[in-house]
Structure 1
Amino acid sequence: MNTLTATWDWFTSAANWSGENGVWHRLGEHLFLTLVCLALSCALALPVALVLGHLGKGGALAVNLANIGRAVPTFAVLVLLLLSPIGTYGQWPTIIALVLFAVPPLLTNAYVGIRGVDADVVRAARGMGMTGSQMLLRVELPLALPLVLTGVRVAAVQLVATATVAALAGGGGLGRIITAGFNLASTPQVVAGAVLVALFALVVEGVFEAAQRFAPAWAKESAG
């Protein structure tokens, strides 16, 4: 039996879809971990990027520092966190490692989006007597929103793919299917786990693409 046939048999086995180790349960864990890390990443990166983009100061340094973080493998960060005192706090090492991984695209896209707003529009808003916060929330952010959402999309897809490292720290998610396959020397299960992660990432990508397609007309115009 070749690998493709064996992998198909794994997918069509009802036993692999139910229970605590089944696909549906692991998919729920993977989705929850992705959403938590994405929410934390947005809460950390977006306010900083938007403020720095509005002020036009310090943003380049922040973006460069964030991009340097991309050069550090998530797995290496996870191992270091597991060896630190933080390693005793359940899934926090995994969450912190994934959040650090998701921050760069969020920070970069939001900052660039705000800085890319037409200066004439900003001057007109200032001439109308708008305060700094009003200009940011009512003028700059709506115009920069397509690029901001692109950063969110990139971060979400990357998190889906990278959240598999949670299994290496004893966490849940689709990565557990892959690591269990390695432990059982089951190539079909490893392949099935990898296919599930890839499909999940494509679904997330599709959701964001659909959201952009059905976005309000002003968002599409500003994106163009």
Structure 2
Amino acid sequence: MNLFADAFAWILNPGNWEGRNSIPQFIGEHLWYTVLAMILASAIAIPLGWYIGHTGRGRDIAVAATGAARALPSFGLLFLFVMIGGVANRDSSVMIVLALLAIPPILAGAYAGFEAIDRRVIDAARSMGMTERQIVARVEIPLGLPLLWGGLRNAVLQVVATVVLVGFVRNATLGYPIVQGIQINRFDQMLGASVLIIVLALLLDAIFALLERYATPAGVRAGRNRDHRTSSTRRRAAGGATPASTEKEMSV
């Protein structure tokens, strides 16, 4: 318990909230890397996932690739790209690695959102004379948004956790206090930075959970929540009405 008290004392220390290498600076850098990686990964994965979900082409390759990419070791991949790109290009190497780790869940959410749509809805849209672009823009994208936001939610949590490793290659993000704490045996600093990372991840998860929930079109939510059966029908379904009683009620 004393260690946790020391960790919160480190977080609440006013000296750690001012000047260079302060907690606000580390949090800002952590979010900066996360946002840039998510933008880069989304620009690649979302259009590709929508294409796969709409056409069905390359689905098997995408499934295999996303499964294999999720097994990549983040720490080893980061150092590999940093050594290949050189110390001068650390930021570019870090961004590439973070984007690569974020692409699989976003890609899976993008094409899974399209595949989860009832095919009868797509056929009805075609029978109304909609073009393929109109079907994608007006039908598939709105209905597929909840699963896409779910993929983005998984990706942002993975990126937030991986950005910690940036502290091993440069003095930035909330990973740096942990790396520095290991070197100088400051366990309160290490635990305090870890607590901040957990809080940041929980906040981002809550935000994306709300976005995932409210991404469902209002008409779909209303259809799920509204029960069209009458009270007598619900009673029969719950109590198991006999055919005779059902026929008598219908005749009345």
TM-score range, shorter chain: over 0.9
Aligned ranges 1:20-169 → 2 under 5 Å: 20-85=20-85, 87-169=87-169
What is the alpha-carbon distance in structure 2 between the residues aligned to residue 49 and residue 106 of structure 1? 8
TM-score scaled to structure 2, two decimals?
0.83
TM-score scaled to structure 1, two decimals?
0.93
Q: Which has the larger radius of gyration?
A: 2
The residue type paired with residue 146 of structure 1 is: P
What is the alpha-carbon distance in structure 1 between the residues aligned to residue 71 and residue 15 of structure 2? 40
Change (3 A) 1:35 1:119: same
Contact 2:145 / 2:212 at 8 angstroms: preserved in 1?
Answer: no
Q: Give the match's secondary structure for 2:57.
A: coil
More off after superposition, 166-175 vs 37-46: 166-175
Change (3 A) 1:109 1:30: same
Deviations 1:120-176 (A, max 9, x none): 111111112222121111111111110011111111122111111111111521111
What is the alpha-carbon distance in structure 2 between the residues aligned to residue 162 and residue 223 of structure 1? 37
Change (3 A) 1:52 1:193: same
Cα offset for 1:12?
A: 2.1
Contact 2:49 / 2:110 at 8 angstroms: preserved in 1?
Answer: yes
Q: Give the match's secondary structure for 1:91.
A: helix
- The equivalent of 2:218 in structure 1 is 217
Q: Give the match's secondary structure for 1:109.
A: helix
- The equivalent of 1:193 in structure 2 is 193
Aligned length: 224
What is the alpha-carbon distance in structure 1 between the residues aligned to residue 29 and residue 203 of structure 2? 16
What is the alpha-carbon distance in structure 2 between the residues aligned to residue 218 and residue 60 of structure 1? 32
What 5-or-longer segments of structure 2 have no aligned partner?
Answer: 226-252
Deviations 1:68-104 (A, max 9, x none): 0111111111111111136532301111111111111
- The equivalent of 2:179 in structure 1 is 179
What is the alpha-carbon distance in structure 2 between the residues aligned to residue 33 and residue 25 of structure 1? 12
What is the alpha-carbon distance in structure 2 between the residues aligned to residue 86 and residue 187 of structure 1? 31
Change (3 A) 1:36 1:128: same
Cα offset for 1:220?
A: 4.0
Q: Give the match's secondary structure for 1:21.
A: coil
What 5-or-longer segments of structure 1 have no aligned partner?
Answer: none
The residue type paired with residue 144 of structure 2 is: A
Aligned residues with identical type, % of pairs: 34
What is the alpha-carbon distance in structure 1 between the residues aligned to residue 73 and residue 48 of structure 2? 23
What is the alpha-carbon distance in structure 1 between the residues aligned to residue 220 and residue 159 of structure 2? 25
Deviations 1:100-129 (A, max 9, x none): 111111011111111111111111111122
More off after superposition, 29-38 vs 201-210: 201-210
The residue type paired with residue 211 of structure 1 is: L
The residue type paired with residue 11 of structure 2 is: F
Cα offset for 1:211?
A: 3.0
Change (3 A) 1:219 1:26: farther
Contact 1:87 / 1:93 at 8 angstroms: preserved in 2?
Answer: no
The residue type paired with residue 174 of structure 1 is: L
Q: Give the match's secondary structure for 2:82.
A: helix
More off after superposition, 208-217 vs 72-81: 208-217
